[in-house]
Structure 1
């Protein structure tokens, strides 16, 4: 088979247009070559199953970047994308063919085969795969492949098209031929199979259209397509390769996913910049600087037209100094940093994220094939005015409003299906249960997750319901079912809730481990807390939760003895969770006497010597905070826990339980100097040889306090108990506390004070005090 890379449209064979994927210079060159040659058919590198979808590229509602998505019918997680931007040569070729009513086809290996070939190919490891652009750049003396490509291809197009629009492809084909002679398959042995299929497709097209054909493919493949082979040899390479049934559609893509850092093998470093170069009719640098200035002004940075003019001049001067034919992205970035960002990389990082890489999200028309679940999701997105966006944004919801409540249900249903379009975040400004905050970002890979979730149902609600029912039936632990219930309630899965509740009741009845019950109760209480806001019937859930709380009240005291240090701390955290949950339950459902029974449990734990110190201390603190323990009684329990006969390690553990953590323990010591005095008395009395044993516990206790709280405590200890003395408390003799003002230390500051105020000694004297 003979081919050509140059020459007229009627001599020598098909025209092979080797390109760089997503290269705007290649895209412009392809457009110029097609306009010049006017082939009868266009063949494009891509999966042939996508031929039926090609006419959609001409739809005015199709806005790149987009991608062909192929997935295995029986295993949607096995999927592949073929992304295309408006500056992709393949997209330009497809649009040209459709506009000129010229047949256009994909000729790469079918997705049915490529998806089935899941095992890594034999040959070199992935890190030895050749980057032909990098090799050519290095040969030309460049250490940056992107810069070489800009100088040789992208900037060349800004100086005007060559006399023969096919000449650049001839030069690139010659370079790739030399590389393949030197490097063989370049570490990609699977390419031989792909290229064999492309040669077969090229033969088929020549029988139909003759040699008047243009082939747009990666430049690396041009030498292989130009090689003389037999049909039998190519078929032999394809014999026996695996195959799966596939489905294809168009899906939106993003510029960020076209970037190389995203992991996309054919990605480019700066898709936003390349899109600008392709779309700018003239003066690309001037237009770029104007675009950057506009974006920075939106961020309230003072950027004027003078900044734009100076940045353009600086970029041009840098290009001249660096012997470049035209200012590139490097020069533009350096100029923006120096002129518009005042040397700071902080606003420059924003320019890079929003403009150099870009946050553009493509659009696909409704007529594109889609699984029913995708169509239902699209309908919800429009109805609820939740437009998918590539840029991350926060969404605040007021669940008292019907639209916001419906948005919340949709996002929770999607999360249950594994479609993480939104993630809940901590809200600002309000802690009410009717508020929700979400962080939204649409990723192209979510299309695969939607295809996977399609096995559960044709609508988001039915799919989430079926998924929840399946998880409830297969759950083996109480924790699994409680977590599922906590997800079902905000998702509004009323049909799944009865099954989930039965599973929850069954698991709770069979689980005798108090630790498991204590872990499950907070999740159920949180779910009940939001039930009223969402108008969800939580009667069955409340009954199960109250039953769990009653069993915890009975079974908790016996398990709080005989624990090691780690086990005691773990159980302390569970007790805190149960304490919070009991408060929620008592407010949400009828639970006569539940608070009192729980307070009784805490009272037993606080007074029982066999209970670990950290648990006794925390139980005492919880009772004090709830107003169920008088301050005098709390001080008495502390005195007993910190008495001289108590081992220092046990006493330190009690302190950790009582005032440990960041939840107000430090403020308790600040405002109750009597308790502070007890702690101080015990601490100063710890023998020196034992102090190192209790120090880790004390550091863990007090390091959690805010710096201001720690500073205040230090001042209180140094100053003495003036406030306590004013209240009539007896603090005499407490180590660290003095009986009154230390006049000698106070006098030491007077000279500095007089100097600052400009007063002489005679005028002040001791009366200043």
Structure 2
């Protein structure tokens, strides 16, 4: 909800109790606030509100500033003044016993709360957080705190206060209304906008009550209690910065007993709080841990630009486009500024807003194209800014170890996604790889493997890295396994090995342990693997587990890991697969046969990775030969076995043609013959090129296809379509041309033997026709 009442997407917005706002003329700077506490109702992450808060605090000079945020954060407020603290940042609170139960309170440089905190720290004023403690808000996943008031019109809907005010003002776009009335207007009286907004919110609260947010009533009771305590300590020299939605409730006359009654009996959980880095990109998201700000980069610019914001923005856009090799001149910038100002005047806006500047950028700087405009939106309107927190901020031991490893390995967390290529023969790159694999095993998704320049199991590894703020929660969750990345990953791997029932899961875990270099976990994993392998009699399970073991052995060679025990288990699995596969393939239905085909392909590839597998290779070839010859084996498996034998040179092309002619004989049911073709040449296995280059095989397929009875053709068509649709477009075109020409050797009734698609003698006229184009491509002149 992008309203004045939201503190952030993960935390429920909080408010501050106080009497009505007063004009700074009633106060004497430095002598308290005789007119009562100063209540500043803001829109979170609004640069206009932030500027207004700063001006109001400068005029009033309160002794204490009360800020919307969890009460536990009082102990962390001094860190906001540390030179190493760079917004955007967020307060993070999580349950100690369940770190996954967490909430964030994001703050950017243009957030009114952040501006208030920094103003108070710079001038020696006290700072207090007055929202409901996170210990209560995190205690229940679905709290039902309510005071019995009716929700919105009895419908239970939640309202967006800013959207409601925009609707009343005749605006369809709430963001545009807010820009017009707050962000793009100046005011000599810093308090006047807050008074007007408080009055408007008062009217909304009278009409809608809690607006579909019953928990706000409890939060506001807590804030009133905190406000009373601050007034008791500091008198009326108190300023409150809270969501404007809460101002009417905080100025309402209530008793201490009534407020305490609302807080009585709330659930509670032990929590920890800290500061964590945040990003502009995360602020722009409306779900997850976002804040729902559509243009944080634009808002940051409005807040930071001392004057001429449109001119400065266009200059910034021009710099970005020039860096990306787009031709943008000073004249373009001048024209874009003029167009933005003209559009603002035509639309009745006080100054050009984001819509006007975007339209001007598209028309002038991007020449009407949305392609460079998307770059501007991504890099500037949203932005890649990543905040930073001091090293002294509280953190779980695992987070500290991760930070230390990041510094040692020069792996700086970045908000933008980037590719990382690692050469595992280098010590630093090897350590980086182990760190990233250990984090993945712990469920911390900082890096994801990417397709690199080399294949699986080589000396190179490619990663895609992107640091997201919620990874701090994942690290906190993983902290239950240990205090260092290595010890935590080892403990996690041992636990998974003991708890896994599926053989494939344990083999995948063994692969992860080798990639992560967890030598202390391997003995436990290997014992569990040997136990499961000995008990599992399902050939499909064994076949599914073998590829991971084969890859693990290859990784072990690359990373210098001892894998003798792993090799013994892999060899044992391969032997059992060779024995049990033929009977396991007999009598399978269509779906089971298709799944078994994938297992056969994986085993075939895995055996090539096993060290010293020459004897196994011969045994495997014998298994494939039995599959190809047995009529009780489904056609798709017989065809696939024949193709693997042909590719490995275990059978000659004549023998492959004989197997195909048997499979496609008139006595074979059409559906079984079509399945054989699918197994032999289907999908992306290179079968299309095989047919292009072997006229005999293509002729056999063509003759069988033309002889399929009409009543059976409809049944086999879907399978044939799937078989040939997997070919590359060029292969399909070549096959179509060959079949259309109808020139193949050995085909019955064919008048012209020879290579498919070619006549017995060259056609010189057709050959010469290509010469002009060839000379044009080569840049040569035709010889006359």
The question of a shared fold, defined as TM-score above 0.5 by the shorter chain, is answered with yes
Q: Describe the SS at the equivalent of 2:185.
A: helix
What is the count of residue pairs matched by the alignment?
741
Tell me the SS of whatever aligns to 1:677.
helix
**CA drift at 1:617:** 0.7
1:290 and 1:735, CA in 2 relative to 1: closer, same or farther beyond 3 A? farther
Q: Which moved more, 1:256-265 or 1:477-486?
A: 256-265
Tell whether 2:156 aligns with 1:134: no
Say if 2:148 is the partner of 1:108: no
Q: Say yes or no: does 1:530 pair with 2:552.
A: no
Tell me the distance in 1 between the aligned counterparts of 2:428 and 2:336: 47
Is residue 5 from structure 1 mapped to residue 21 from structure 2 by the alignment? yes
Answer whether contact 2:684 2:727 (CA < 8 A) is retained: yes
Task: Sort the Cα spacing of 1:391 and 1:457 in 2 relative to 1 into closer, same or farther, 3 A.
Answer: same
Instruction: Check whether the contact 1:280–1:287 (CA below 8 A) recurs between aligned residues.
Output: yes
1:701–1:170 Cα change, 3 Å:
same
Conserved? CA contact 1:673–1:721, under 8 Å: no
Match of 1:599 among 621, 640, 655: 621
Quick one: which of 75, 81, 105 aligns to 1:58? 81
SS at match of 1:562: coil
Q: Matched residue of 2:609: which SS?
A: helix
Is the CA contact (8 Å cut-off) linking 2:62 and 2:239 kept in structure 1? yes
Q: 1:689 Cα deviation (Å)?
A: 2.4
Q: Pick from 261, 283, 300: which aligns with 1:236?
A: 261
1:379-394 to 2 correspondences below 5 Å: 379-394=404-419
Shift of 1:592: 5.1
Higher alpha-carbon deviation: 492-501 or 696-705? 696-705
Task: Say if 2:64 and 2:239, in contact at 8 Å, map to a contact too.
Answer: yes
1:256 aligns with 2:281: yes
Structure 2: gaps (5+ residues):
1-16, 28-32, 774-784
Q: 3-state SS of the aligned residue for 1:452?
A: helix
The Cα shift of 1:681 comes to: 1.8
User: What is the CA deviation profile of residues 670-713 of structure 1, one whole-angstrom value per residue up to 9, with x for unaligned ones?
Assistant: 11111111112222222222222221221111111111001111
TM value normalised by structure 1: 0.93
Q: Closer, same or farther in 2 for the Cα pair 1:700/1:469, shift >3 Å?
A: same
2:396 matched to which residue of 1?
371
* Partners of 2:228 and 2:55 in 1: CA distance: 25
The answer on whether the counterparts of 1:22 and 1:267 sit within 8 Å (CA) in structure 2 is no
1:485 to partner: Cα distance: 1.1
Aligned mates of 1:269, 1:120 — CA distance in 2: 29
Residue of structure 2 aligned with 1:682, choices 678, 690, 704: 704
Q: Helix, strand or coil: the match of 1:629? A: coil
Residue 497 of structure 1 corresponds to 522
How far did residue 127 of structure 1 move? Answer: 7.6
Preserved contact between residue 743 and residue 758 of structure 2 (Cα < 8 Å): no
Hey, what does 2:181 align to over in structure 1?
Answer: 152
Pairwise CA distance, 1:740: 10
Mapped partners of 1:530, 1:506: distance in 2: 23
Indicate the SS of the match to 1:338. Answer: helix
CA–CA separation in structure 2 for the residues paired with 1:430 and 1:512: 32
1:616-765, aligned counterparts within 5 Å? 616-721=638-743, 730-731=746-747, 733-734=749-750
Task: Check 1:188–1:137 CA distance in 2 against 1; reply closer, same or farther (3 A cut).
Answer: same
Is the contact made by 1:732 and 1:738 (CA closer than 8 Å) also made in structure 2? no
Distance 1:11 1:151, change over 3 A: same
Structural mapping, 1:74-93, within 5 Å: 74-93=97-116
Q: Does 1:143 align with 2:168?
A: no
Residue 444 (structure 1) aligns with? 469
Aligned residue number for residue 763 of structure 1: none
SS across alignment from 2:509: helix
TM-score (normalizing by structure 2): 0.91
Distance 2:243 2:757 in 1: 86
Q: 1:426 aligns with which of 417, 427, 451?
A: 451
SS at match of 1:42: strand
The verdict on how the C-alpha distance between 1:735 and 1:612 changes in structure 2, with shifts beyond 3 A counting, is: farther
Could you tell me how far 1:227 is from its partner in structure 2? Answer: 0.9
Change (3 A) 1:717 1:461: same
Distance 1:741 1:526, change over 3 A: closer
Q: Is the alpha carbon distance of 1:307 and 1:742 closer, same or farther for their aligned partners in structure 2, counting shifts above 3 Å?
A: closer
Q: Measure how far apart 1:346 and its partner are.
A: 2.0
CA 1:338–1:613: 2 relative to 1, 3 Å = same
Tell me if the contact between 1:193 and 1:238 (Cα under 8 Å) persists in the aligned partners. yes
**Structure-1 separation of matches of 2:752 and 2:670:** 19
The answer to whether the Cα contact below 8 Å between 2:47 and 2:183 also exists between their aligned partners in 1 is yes
3-state DSSP of counterpart to 1:370: coil
In structure 2, the residue matched to 1:514 is 539
Query: Do residues 306 (structure 1) and 335 (structure 2) align?
Result: no
Cα pair distance change 1:607/1:55, threshold 3 Å: same
Where 1:386 maps in the other structure, the secondary structure is coil
Q: 1:699 to 1:734 in 2, by over 3 A?
A: farther
> Are the counterparts in 1 of residues 737 and 757 from structure 2 also a CA contact under 8 Å?
no
The separation in 1 between residues aligned to 2:274 and 2:97, in whole angstroms, is 16
Q: Is the 8 A contact 1:22 1:87 kept in 2?
A: yes
Match of 2:780 in 1: none
SS of residue paired to 1:77: coil
Matched with 1:468 is 493
More displaced 10-residue stretch of structure 1: 318-327 or 528-537: 528-537
Specify every segment of 5 or more residues in structure 1 that has no aligned partner in the other structure, as ranges: 725-729, 758-769
Q: Structure 1's 471 and 399: CA in aligned 2 closer, same or farther, altered over 3 A?
A: same
Q: Assess if the C-alpha contact under 8 Å between 2:95 and 2:102 holds in 1.
A: yes
**Aligned residue number for residue 767 of structure 1:** none
Separation in 2, partners of 1:216, 1:415:
41
1:684/1:735 contact within 8 Å kept: no
Q: State the SS of the aligned residue for 1:217.
A: strand
Root-mean-square deviation (Å): 2.4
**Secondary structure in structure 2 of the residue aligned to 1:620:** helix
Deviation at residue 264 of structure 1 after TM alignment: 5.3
User: What's 2:122 paired with?
Assistant: 99
| Cα distance in 2, alignment partners of residues 741 and 616 from structure 1 | 30
- Greater Cα offset, 378-387 or 261-270: 261-270
Partner of 2:6: none
**Alpha-carbon separation, structure 1, partners of 2:758 and 2:198:** 91
Structure 1: distance between partners of 2:755 and 2:644: 33
1:347 Cα shift? 1.8
Structure 1 pair 266–225 and aligned structure 2 pair: CA distance change class (3 A): farther
Per-residue deviation, 1:562: 1.1
Alignment of 1:555-634 (within 5 A): 555-585=580-610, 589-591=611-613, 593-634=615-656
* CA spacing shift, 1:457–1:429, aligned 2, 3 Å: closer
- What SS does structure 2 have at the residue aligned with 1:593? helix
Distance 2:732 2:47 in 1: 60
Q: Distance in 2 between matches of 1:735 and 1:584?
A: 48
CA distance in 2, matches of 1:199, 1:232: 11
- Distance in 2 (CA, whole Å) between partners of 1:616 and 1:558 is 13
Deviation at 1:548, TM superposition (A): 0.2
Q: Distance in 2 between matches of 1:471 and 1:265?
A: 32
2:315 is the alignment partner of 1:293? no
Instruction: Indicate yes or no: 2:272 matched with 1:247.
Output: yes
User: Cα distance 1:286–1:742, how it changes in 2: closer, same or farther (>3 A)?
Assistant: closer
1:189 aligns with: 214
Change in 2 beyond 3 A, CA 1:2/1:614: closer
1:357 aligns with 2:382: yes
